[in-house]
Amino acid sequence: MKNLWQQYDKKLQENKMLNESIIRNIIKDRSKSSLGKMSTMEYLTAMVYALLLLVYTAEAQNTGATVWIRACYFFTLAFSIAGLIFTVYKIKLLSKFDFGAQAITDAVQKLEQLRLLIVKERLISILLSPLLLITFYAVINFWVYNADMFQHFSIYAPRIAVSIILLIIASIALYRKVYFDNIYRIRENLNEIRDLKTSL
């Protein structure tokens, strides 16, 4: 009788381990697409920043004839470098998610940390949008037309104002579509799997 109970207990343990393995695979499969979308966006962003830095390096001798244009050049250059570094950090952060190996509670905690990081990033990007657009526009306008837009800022002001509004709207939509919707899907998957695991 004792041997039978031991065999039964062993069978239960094996079934439990098998069920947990199935649950982890479900988490991994469901979350792979959402993580992939966020990672793809980060790689594209890194490529854009890298391209900007190449252009800025090529135009290093053409930083502008006035203090304002030079200030815009170095500000946008610094922002591009910081943006690339932060993007690489997010790529590494996303690569550390392994829902097949992590405990569900740990995964939920890390996912919330990612969400809070993206919230802060979105807020900063929206607040800096006017300044970034003006400074980038000033530098590019100087490179293309060899003109200082600050000397005739009233001419450029309407199009810049419209561009700022469109940029903010696009940023909000992009963050929601690429990040928050996918984070929400992953969190729902984790909650569903946690409930399923509890019922086993």
**16 belongs to a structural domain:** no
- Segment 72-111, tens digit of pLDDT: 999 999 999 999 999 999 999 998 887 766 677 788 888 8
**3 belongs to a structural domain:** no
**152 belongs to a structural domain:** yes
**171 belongs to a structural domain:** yes
**158 belongs to a structural domain:** yes
Containing structural domain, residue 56: 34-199
Instruction: State whether residue 99 is helix, strand or coil.
Output: coil
Q: Which helix (H) or strand (E) holds 100?
A: none
* Overall number of domains in the chain: 1
Cα 72 from Cα 64, distance rounded (Å): 9
Instruction: State whether residue 97 is helix, strand or coil.
Output: coil
**111 belongs to a structural domain:** yes
- In the numeric block, the tokens 């969190």 are attached to 187
Query: Is 38 exposed, middle or buried (CB count within 10 Å of its CB: 0-12, 13-18, 19+)?
Result: buried
- Segment 151-175, tens digit of pLDDT: 888 999 999 999 999 999 999 999 9
**105 belongs to a structural domain:** yes
